[in-house]
A and B are shown apart, each in its own frame.
Chain A
Amino acid sequence: MIQSRHIISIKDLTPDEITLVLDTAESFKEVNERRIKKLPTLRGRTVVNLFLEPSTRTRTSFEIAAKRLSADAINFSGSASATVKGESLADTAETLSAMACDLVIVRHKFAGAPRILADHMDAHIINGGDGMHEHPSQALLDLFTMRERLGKLEGLKVGVVGDISHSRVAGSLIPALKMMGATPIAIAPPTLLPARPDVLGAEVASSLDEVLPDLDVAYMLRIQMERAEGMPFPSVREYAKLYGINSARLAKMKPTAIVMHPGPMNRGVEISAAVADSDRSVVLDQVNAGVAVRMAAMYMLLGGEA
């Protein structure tokens, strides 16, 4: 089991605990391959998916994970919630707490929202993505997939490519890689880098082509193509040309190197269709690992309790 009561930041876990989650996820993955995919582990426990920002993939993944552990999984989503009626998040937290939930998975538009929940309720919290801050379960499933495909994490060179400044995926993945002894390398136009990539733990490469031959993993982030403010690059075409992964670039990578993406993909922008569908792309392995890793995370938080 793990020390922290919540998984809000990837740094709530120690490197040993991350390894424990990944090891546990391996056995759950095996369960997910059986015909009967259900364990009684969390029977009678209530898991709330509090998704106050649209999400299908992550919410579904957590819901399946909770159900496979026999927990009662309830979805509480943005449009259906009291939050649109002007209720504060603190009040939502206290309302859920009064209903005696055991675990809340929260997805929220603003950074720090999981902390507000943790401060106002007794339940365990898993951060399902908060603003531009963190998305720790995504980082765990990404580590799982890297370890599964490449046999280890230590020493891997991982290029994280794209909108790092707005990405909660990068906010958890980069420190997670660093913790596990890998080398995260941030690759992005300067307009999409955070103010201090070093604070996350990333080295910064000046161009994708320069570092490609050294990489074990090219981790392509989704480009947000609709923005209120000015676009941070002149055109999608120029972005794809400078920072997209395509067959020509894939050919320059090590033969063992893999391409990852947290989804949903913009085919033809950050990743070409040919690469997305190639055997070097592990995008569906990531999705598959997501259920097992989330089962492991829930088990780690709740499983040790009476």
Chain B
Amino acid sequence: MALLFRGARVVDPRAGLDEVCDVVVRDGLIAEIGKDLSIPKGTTIECAEKVLVPGLVDVHVHLREPGREDKETIRTGTRAAAHGGFTAVCAMPNTSPVTDTGSKARFIVERAAAEGVVRVHPIGACTVGSKGEALAEIGDMLAEGAVAFSDDGHGVQTSGMMRLVMDYAKQFGTTIISHCEDESLVSKGVVNEGVVSTRLGLPGWPSAGEETQVARDIRLAELTRCRLHLAHLSTAGSIEMVRAAKAKGLPVTCEVTPHHLFLTEDDITDAYDTNFKMNPPLRAAEDRDALIAALADGTIDCIATDHAPHAPHEKALEFELAPFGTTGLETALSLVITNLVAKELLSWGDVVSLMAHGPRDALGLSPVTLEVGQVADLTVIDPEARVEVTESFFESKSANSAFLGATLLGKASEVLVGGRFALRHGKVVDA
């Protein structure tokens, strides 16, 4: 069955495209791109005033399955992904049990094949149980579908262990994703050390707790030549180091989250709203400004959400006791449109670079481009749609969003995964 996407603004800098035209999809592949196309049989999707881009991917999500299916499952998490305009997600391994063997990676792949609405690529742990003590079976996990390795949720505490991981991973050409957090500096920190920790009497999480490991891991990438991807960078200092590493030609990439781009420590008020408790924490306005500048100059490779669903009773605790994290899959694109595209800080081409090509390149995933013969993973965006972020807006099982109450501009209306609708007219289509 053929699909005709008619009259969209089709944007893909890698295909040299930014023009109003039609796209025909047939047998799961892009069959034609051009003006005034028609199909003898099939479905026409009117896309006037809409933007059609290569399918977006989020390389940093927590799907919680196995172990915490009360917060999210592969099914609900991928529904949330489709709702947010993503055609694929990478699932972090800090589930229960931790994804640290090939069979556990295969479980994710099989569950996703059975129940997932969008593609799911597992990320394996780089050490057993993510404990930072012994190498995990990276080779076996790769064979079962893992695409990168991380002890996300924790920094690898010793430099020696991190070196071992990177040295070993190098043979596979895979990527190590580093969650940079020196626990001896961060300790019980829950908010940025500085104004907010002083104002609210909460333990501080200093910028240096991230930056010391960023510095270490960049140096280890230089030593081992292993591909390094730095997760959820939050400080101006980290960005500066990545910029220098890239200038040196090191195999280093990085991501930032929407919450670090669009919120600061000043948003944490004496309401002690635990939806603003994230790891790493919301930083100062100067850090936020440095992140936005680095998006524009190419220092940042991608936007990733660190989608972290939590149960209401867990987030209803005292700030110091509540778990870290905000959901992100369903608000990321709207936030980028509202705060960056509508304000002309980023072009649509930049959005494609940061949310489709950049993340795939960072983890070495198969590229998705709008070219004839390519797999039809694509996202259609209505840039004028209004989004009211309320609890009932979410497809995710959890509603712990730092953006609850916001009104945003722009939303995905269609998501196509391998030629199959995952989202149609803004509604999720089950697999």
Contact = CB atoms under 8 A, between A and B. Distances in A.
A111 B272 contact: yes
Interface stretch (A130-138, A146-154, A272-280, A294-302): A130-138
B318 A132 contact: no
Interface string B316-329: 11111100000000
Contacts of B407: none
A111 B319 contact: yes
B198 A131 contact: no
Given A133-B200, A134-B201, A112 B319 contact: yes
A116 B198 contact: no
A236 interface: no
Contacts of B194: 195-196
B318 A89 contact: yes
B344 interface: no
Contact of A113 (B204, B270, B318): B318
A162 interface: no
Interface in A199-218: 199-200
A197 B197 CA distance: 11
B204 A116 contact: no
A89 B317 contact: yes
B198 A199 contact: yes
A199 B272 contact: no
B270 A9 contact: yes
A171 B200 CA distance: 9
B315 to A, nearest CB: 11
A26 to B, nearest CB: 30
A284 B194 CA distance: 35
A107 to B, nearest CB: 13
B313 A88 contact: yes
Nearest to B199: A199
B306 interface: no
A108 interface: yes
Interface string A108-125: 101111011000000000
Nearest to B314: A88
A88 B84 CA distance: 33
A71 interface: no
B318 A108 contact: yes
B193 A195 contact: yes
A110 B195 contact: no
Interface in A58-79: none
B187 interface: yes
B202 interface: yes
A168 B317 contact: no
Given A197-B198, A229-B187, A111 B320 contact: yes
Contacts of B198: 194-197, 199-200
B354 to A, nearest CB: 32
Nearest to B319: A112
Nearest to A175: B199
A229 B320 CA distance: 17
A168 B200 CA distance: 10
B271 interface: yes
Contacts of A194: 197-198
Indicate the member of A171, A195, A200 with the most B CB atoms within 10 Å.
A195
Nearest to A199: B198
Nearest to A115: B272
B195 A196 contact: yes
A110 B319 contact: yes
Interface residues of A, number: 26
A255 to B, nearest CB: 35
Interface in B303-352: 313, 316-321
Contacts of A171: 201
Nearest to B313: A88
A131 B187 contact: no
A92 to B, nearest CB: 12
Contacts of B187: 229
A180 interface: no
A254 B422 CA distance: 77
Interface string B385-414: 000000000000000000000000000000
Contacts of A168: 201
A8 interface: yes
Given A195-B193, A195-B194, A199-B198, A110 B318 contact: yes
B168 to A, nearest CB: 33
A111 B197 CA distance: 10
B270 A115 contact: yes
Interface in B205-248: 206
Contacts of B195: 195-196, 199
B339 to A, nearest CB: 27
Nearest to A170: B201
A200 B127 CA distance: 43
A134 B197 CA distance: 13
Interface in B174-195: 187, 193-195
Contacts of B270: 8-9, 112, 115
Contact of A112 (B203, B206, B272, B316): B272
A90 interface: yes
A110 to B, nearest CB: 4
Indicate the member of A89, A130, A131, A197 with the most B CB atoms within 10 Å.
A131
Interface in A158-201: 168, 171, 194-197, 199-200
A200 B270 CA distance: 14
A44 B201 CA distance: 35
A173 to B, nearest CB: 13
B204 A132 contact: no
Contacts of B317: 88-89
Interface of B: 187, 193-195, 197-204, 206, 270-272, 313, 316-321
27 contacts: A8-B270, A88-B317, A89-B317, A89-B318, A110-B318, A110-B321, A111-B201, A111-B202, A111-B272, A111-B318, A111-B320, A112-B270, A112-B272, A115-B270, A116-B316, A131-B320, A132-B201, A132-B203, A171-B201, A194-B198, A195-B194, A195-B195, A195-B204, A196-B194, A196-B195, A199-B195, A200-B198
Given A116-B318, A199-B199, A200-B198, 5 more contacts: A9-B270, A89-B317, A115-B271, A133-B201, A196-B195
Please provide the 3 A-B residue pairs with the shortest distance between their CB atoms, ordered closest to farther: A133-B201, A112-B272, A110-B318
